[in-house]
Amino acid sequence: MRQKNELQEVVEFLMYPEKFSALGGKLPKGVLLCGPPGTGKTLLARAVAGQAGVPFFHSSGSEFDEVFVGQGAKRVRDLFKAAKERAPCVIFIDEIDSIGGKRTSSPAHPYANQTINQLLNEMDGFVSNEGVIVLGATNREGDLDKAILRPGRFDTKVQVGIPDIKGRTEILDLYLGKVKHDSSVNLEILARKTNGMSGAQLQNLVNTATIKAAVDNKEFVSMSEFDYAYDKLTMGVDLKSRIRSKEDLMITAYHEAGHTLVAYFTPDAMPLHKVTIVAKGGSGGHTAFLPAENMEWHSTKAQYKARIDTGMGGRAAEELIFGREKITGGARSDLQSSTNIAFYMVTELGMSDKIGNRVLHKKNADKEMVDSEMKAILEDSYKRAMNILVTHKNELKMLAEALLKYETLDADDIKAIIEHKKPPTKFSQTSSLLKKPLQQLPPVIPGLGVSGVTPPPIESLGSRQDGSMSS
C-alpha cells in the first residue's frame, strides 16, 4: 500500500528520533492526508500513532468553531500545549479545512481568521525534532489557505485514494474475517466487482450482506447475500412487487439481451458477470461486468470503443426486434454515457484522427469538428452493435426468452445459451414476474420501466467505477 510506505518514515521518526537527529535530518512538521470520504484517512492516522506506540491527540476542525471570539484560538493553543508535554506524539486534526480554509478580509467578520492564524503560529512555534507530528485530513484540499501548505507546516501531502484491487482484496479479507461465511464467498470476484468502492463502502457491503443473511435466518453468509448487497448499494433494492406488463418485460429482456450479446462478441469488452430483468431502484434491469485488473489504471482505445458498443446494444436490440418507431426512452442513460466517453476520447485523450494528439479546452475547441468526430464514433459504434445482433439474432431471442423465464442469468448461463444454443437448466422456478394474471397488469407506457445501461466511466469522468450497467 503506497500510503503506508509514505507514512512509514513518520513512524520511524516517532520511534527512533535520535537516528534522525544524529544525521541532522528533519522530518516535516505536518503531513496532510488528502482523499475522498471513506478512504481511511483517520484509520491511517491512528495506525501511525499505534505502530509507533505514542499518544494520539484526535480533534476535528469543527471543534474549534466557537461563537465566542478567541475560543477557537485558545483551543488550538491548549491542544498543542498538551501535545508538547507528552512528546513524542501525534496530533490529528480531521476535516482541517474547517479551520484551515482560505482567510477572509471581510469587515463583517473581523475575528474570522483568529483560529487559523493561531494554528499557523503553533506550527511555527516548535522545531521538528521535538517529536510532535501534526496529521491533517481533508477531502477539500482546494479550500485550504496557501499558508497552511507552505514548507515548514503541512509541506508533505499523502494522497489517500480509492483502493486498487489488491487493496480491496485485503480490506474485504479483513472484514470477512469478522463474519461467518461459507465457501461460496469468492474473494477475488468480490474484489473485482467492487471496483471504485472505498474502504467504508466495502465495510458497508459486508455488513449489508450479513444483515441479509440474518433476516433470512441463515447460519452463514453466502455469495448470494453479497450479490444482493452489491446490487442494493449500487442500484437500490429489488422491486419484485412492482407490477409490470408483459410488453414492458419483453422490451426490458431484449434491451438487456442486446447489451449482453454485444459484450459477449466484442473482444475488448469487459467480462460478463450477470444480466437480470429484476427491477432495482429506478431501473427495470441491468447487466453487470467484472472489470479486468488493468482497467483500473489504463484503458485502451479499443476498450473505450467496446464500452460504447456495449452501451449501444440495448437500443440496437429494440430497433431490430420492434422496429425504428418502437424504440423506447430506456436507452437515455446509455446514450448519455456513450456520449461522455466519446467526448473525452476526442477532447481529452487524443483518440481522434482529425483532432490528433492534443487536449482541447473550451476556449480553443472547434465545436463543429468535435461534434463531427463524436458523431462518427457513436454512429460507427451503433453499426457494429447492430451488425453483431443481426448476425446472432437467434441467440438474441434465446437470451431474451431465458430472461423472461428465469429473470437472472449468470456468466455460465449466458455462455450455455450462446455457445450451446440451449437455455440453462439449473433453475427450476418460473419467473415470479410472470405469475401475475395479465388482466391485473396496467398498460405499458413507452419509455418508462425499461432498463438502461451506464458503462463504467473512464478516468477523466472522475465518477464511480464499477461493472454495473443500469439506468
Q: What is the CATH number of the domain that holds 84?
A: 3.40.50.300
Distant-in-sequence, close-in-space partners of 24: CB < 8 Å, separation ≥ 6: none
Answer yes or no: is 240 within a domain.
Answer: no
Strands 30-34 and 89-94: unpaired
Q: Write down the pLDDT at residue 179.
A: 93
Answer yes or no: is 60 within a domain.
Answer: yes
Which residues participate in catalysis according to the annotation? 256
CA 58 to chain CA centroid, Å, is: 28
Query: 169 with 306, same domain?
Result: no
Q: Write down the pLDDT at residue 155.
A: 74
Answer yes or no: is 241 within a domain.
Answer: no
What is the distance between the alpha carbons of residues 318 and 335, in angstroms, rounded to a whole number?
A: 14
pTM attached to this predicted model: 0.72
Query: 37 with 148, same domain?
Result: yes
Q: In 355-469, which ranges are continuous DSSP H helix? A: 367-391, 393-406, 411-420
Answer yes or no: is 343 within a domain.
Answer: yes
Query: 186 with 106, same domain?
Result: no
User: Per-residue b/e over 299-326, b at no fewer than 16 CB within 10 Å?
Assistant: beeebbbbbbbbbbbbbbbbbbbeeeee
CB 169 within 8 A of CB 135: no
Q: Write down the pLDDT at residue 346.
A: 93
DSSP conformation letters of 327-370 = --GGGHHHHHHHHHHHHHHHHTS---TTT-S-PPPTTT--HHHH
Q: Write down the pLDDT at residue 112.
A: 60
Distant-in-sequence, close-in-space partners of 16: CB < 8 Å, separation ≥ 6: none
CB 318 within 8 A of CB 447: no
Query: 317 with 463, same domain?
Result: yes
Q: Residue 421: which CATH number?
A: 1.20.58.760
Count of alpha carbons within 13 Å of 434, Cβ hemisphere only?
16
Query: 262 with 404, same domain?
Result: yes
Query: 107 with 142, same domain?
Result: yes
Query: 77 with 106, same domain?
Result: yes
Query: 170 with 315, same domain?
Result: no
Distant-in-sequence, close-in-space partners of 159: CB < 8 Å, separation ≥ 6: 3, 34, 35
Answer yes or no: is 322 within a domain.
Answer: yes
Query: 127 with 103, same domain?
Result: yes
Q: Write down the pLDDT at residue 254.
A: 96
Answer yes or no: is 397 within a domain.
Answer: yes
Q: Which of 121, 141, 159 is the last residue of a domain?
A: 159
Distance between start and end Cα atoms, the chain: 35
Query: 277 with 342, same domain?
Result: yes
What is the distance between the alpha carbons of residues 467 and 449, in angstroms, rounded to a whole number?
A: 21
If one counts the domains in the chain, the total is 3
* Cα–Cα separations (whole angstroms), residue 146 to 113, 114, 141, 383: 14, 16, 10, 52
* Cα–Cα separations (whole angstroms), residue 324 to 246, 250, 450: 20, 16, 16
Q: Which domain holds residue 445?
A: 246-470
- Give the three-state DSSP class for 289: strand
Give the three cell numbers for residue 127.
Answer: 522545531
Answer yes or no: is 323 within a domain.
Answer: yes
Q: Which among 259, 418, 263, 390 has a CA at the least distance from the CA of 320?
A: 390
Q: Which of 116, 141, 159 is the last residue of a domain?
A: 159
Q: Write down the pLDDT at residue 295.
A: 61
- Percentages helix, strand, coil for the chain (3-state, rounded to 5) are 55, 10, 35
Sheet containing 30-34: give its strands across: 56-60, 89-94, 132-138, 30-34, 156-159
Q: Write down the pLDDT at residue 465.
A: 34
Query: 80 with 170, same domain?
Result: no
Q: Write down the pLDDT at residue 99.
A: 79
Distant-in-sequence, close-in-space partners of 161: CB < 8 Å, separation ≥ 6: 35, 36, 39
In tens digits, the chain (471 residues) has pLDDT values of: 567 777 887 788 778 777 777 777 676 688 889 988 888 888 888 888 888 888 898 888 777 765 455 677 888 888 888 888 888 888 898 888 887 777 766 554 555 677 788 888 888 766 655 678 889 899 888 888 888 888 778 878 888 888 888 889 989 999 999 999 999 999 988 998 888 899 899 999 999 999 999 999 999 999 999 988 998 888 777 666 667 888 989 999 999 999 999 999 999 999 998 999 988 767 788 898 887 665 666 789 999 999 999 999 999 999 999 999 999 988 998 999 999 999 999 999 999 988 889 888 766 678 889 999 999 999 999 999 999 999 999 999 999 999 999 989 999 999 999 987 666 554 434 344 433 333 333 333 233 233 333 333 333 333 333 344 544
Q: Write down the pLDDT at residue 238.
A: 67
Give the three cell numbers for residue 217.
Answer: 435466518
What is the distance between the alpha carbons of residues 341 and 319, in angstroms, rounded to a whole number?
A: 23
Q: Residue 172: which CATH number?
A: 1.10.8.60
Query: 324 with 202, same domain?
Result: no
Q: Which of 159, 176, 195 is the last residue of a domain?
A: 159
Q: Which among 331, 300, 295 has a CA at the least distance from the CA of 313?
A: 331
What is the distance between the alpha carbons of residues 420 and 38, in angstroms, rounded to a whole number?
A: 45
CA 441-314-457 angle, to 5 degrees, is 120
Answer yes or no: is 24 within a domain.
Answer: yes
Q: Write down the pLDDT at residue 293.
A: 62
Q: Write down the pLDDT at residue 445.
A: 29
